[in-house]
Chain A
Amino acid sequence: MTASQAVRQVFGFFGFLGRRTGKARVFALLGLMPVVLAVVVRIVFHSRTGPLASVFTEILMVFFLQFYIVILALFYGTSVTAEEVENRTLSYLITRPIPKPAVVLGKFAAYAALMFVLVAVSLGLSYFIMNAAHLADPALYLTFLRYLGVLGLGILAYGAFFTFLGTVLKRAIIVGLVFGFGWENVIQYFPGSTQRFSIVHYLKSLLPYAPEGRSAGKGVALLLFRLEPTSPLLSILALAAITAAFLALACWLFRIKEYLYEE
């Protein structure tokens, strides 16, 4: 079996397992919150399109960008390795004729796909409900794809980083929480280049600046507060590099490390 075939098989196995667990349902339920809010807001503000558009771009995106994808990536990313060690099921995987890195990559891909589906459904429903009055406008769909792309890149970058943490640390979740909800929330507001030491900076740099119906630069959106954006191309490259680097590190560490079960 080639390495890519092995990755595909691991992807299939964990894609199946990941969908099955109750935790996926809990996270899906969490993703319903912006959908419910979108419905409520549409009912309350149904005649005013301006506030509707800004609610999505300035408020709901805060939920997606700074909470939902972080919490998903934290749980699923650290689960790639830590779950197998905690549950003692690692023996079933590393005594199969597949290279160890294939386990990391395949499982990461499976969980990333699952997270992407959860986010896409939640984002899609809330976005199109909020913008139901403009469904004929093709620009709406392009903007949606852009938002989805940003969140997808966020899932990959955060997921890769937390996968690396889960491979190297025993208590990765605590470090992950401090990073995801401490460092990321604070450093992005620092002026100058310091902002670039966070993943969320590059994600925000890729967002469309002006909400629908407003001229660019009017007011300061909550999401873009103090942002000194990096160019979109560099942001994509940075996120891709973060993903590739941390995944490579995770694969290498998983290959050379021994994992002892706690007795």
Chain B
Amino acid sequence: MATVREKGYSHWDGRLSARRFPWWPITRTGIQLAFRKKRFKLVFAGAFVPSFVFLVGLYISERLEDFKAFVRGSDRLLNISPKYFATYFTNDSFLFLIVLVLAFGTGGLIADDLKHSSLQLYFSRPLGKKDYFLGKMSVVAFFVLILTALPGLVLVIFKLIFAGSFKFFLTYPWLPLSILGYSALLTLFFGFYVLLLSSVSKNGRYVIILIFGAYIFSNVLSGILQGIFKIPALALFSIPSNLQQAGAFIFGQKLPHDVPAAWSFAVLAAICGLSAAVLNRKIRSVEVIK
């Protein structure tokens, strides 16, 4: 016998199918929200300026004869080797631009959820803490990888195209792996770093200040300590210095500070560990009001 339903609410009796990536809607929404901010697109486009500059450098390096008049003495500067790529990935302005993009585009990832008490909305769906965390982390990963791995690999490809041979790749076959490895390190570190600070406050402006402030403060503190005590190991207090140490190690270059690279990796891992511990405590479906 057919069931006749009234117009109005009727309970859905269907079966939920398990999604392979339940965190994907969180990631997709996070990326869309970032691009909706008016000036973010400008900032994001600006973050590609270093890649463009280095791409031009690659081109000039293959056409030095043509540009000799403009670039006297640059054959040393434009010697394309893993050092060129290490310089690209570890220079201060590039790392600063990544922090700027992340502060602007992803600072509110958890802060906005706390502000609008949305955590309950997430966890009333078939989502666990792991899915929530993966979804948010993937937003950061999207932006960092687009600014690091993508232009890095494109630079290698363009080098091969401009050179017209695979010689560069055969000389440095591990270079793409270094690019991917360092991009993964930056992604992981900045993911934990941004999410940690985003979970600390409901105030989006304060979170942006924290993301920038902690990054710059670590550098200032390290500079002050090194200025006073003249101990190279004090560079470990600086986030950008640790990232540059790790980058130099991954690209097989001379370390910028007289400190074992393993210590820098340990500091970065410690920050990630602290972040994981704080996030595990902060992200819960019930808010306790004292």
Contact = CB atoms under 8 A, between A and B. Distances in A.
Contact between chain A and chain B defined by CB under 8 Å: yes
Interface of A: 23, 30, 33, 37, 41, 44, 51, 55, 58-60, 62-63, 66-67, 71, 74-75, 78-79, 82-83, 86, 170-171, 173-174, 177-178, 181, 222
A37 B205 CA distance: 29
B227 A59 contact: yes
Contacts of A30: 213, 217
Interface in B165-188: none
B212 A37 contact: no
Interface string B201-213: 1011110110011
Interface of B: 37-39, 43, 100, 103-104, 201, 203-206, 208-209, 212-213, 216-217, 220-221, 223-225, 227-229
Contacts of B206: 23, 75
A125 B105 CA distance: 38
24 contacts: A33-B221, A37-B224, A41-B228, A44-B229, A62-B224, A63-B224, A66-B220, A75-B209, A78-B205, A79-B205, A86-B205, A170-B38, A171-B38, A171-B39, A171-B104, A173-B205, A174-B43, A174-B100, A174-B103, A174-B104, A177-B100, A177-B209, A177-B212, A181-B216
A94 B112 CA distance: 26
Chain B interface, >50% SS class: helix
A82 B205 contact: yes
A63 B225 contact: no
A51 B213 CA distance: 28
Contacts of A62: 220, 223-224
A37 B228 CA distance: 9
A58 B229 contact: no
A54 to B, nearest CB: 9
A58 B213 contact: no
Nearest to A75: B209
A127 B212 CA distance: 27
Given A44-B229, A55-B228, A174 B209 contact: no
B209 A71 contact: yes
B220 A74 contact: no
Given A67-B220, A71-B217, 17 more contacts: A23-B201, A23-B206, A33-B221, A37-B224, A58-B227, A59-B224, A59-B228, A63-B220, A66-B220, A74-B209, A75-B209, A86-B204, A171-B39, A174-B43, A174-B100, A174-B103, A178-B100
Contacts of A44: 229
A171 B37 contact: yes
Contacts of B229: 44
A24 B206 CA distance: 11
A79 B38 CA distance: 20
A162 to B, nearest CB: 11
Given A79-B205, A86-B203, A60 B43 contact: no
Contacts of A66: 220
Contacts of A58: 227
Nearest to B99: A177
Nearest to A33: B221
A62 B225 CA distance: 12
A222 B220 CA distance: 13
A26 B111 CA distance: 17
Contacts of A23: 201, 203, 206
Nearest to B215: A181
Nearest to B223: A62
B238 to A, nearest CB: 13
Given A55-B228, A174-B39, A181-B212, A67 B223 contact: no
Contacts of A75: 205-206, 209
Contact of B208 (A60, A83, A177, A181): A177
A171 B40 CA distance: 10
Contacts of B213: 30, 71
A222 B208 contact: no
Contacts of A177: 100, 103, 208-209, 212
The 4 residue pairs across chains A and B that have the minimum distance between CB atoms: A59-B227, A67-B220, A173-B208, A173-B205
Contacts of B220: 62-63, 66-67
Contacts of B216: 67, 181
A79 B208 CA distance: 13
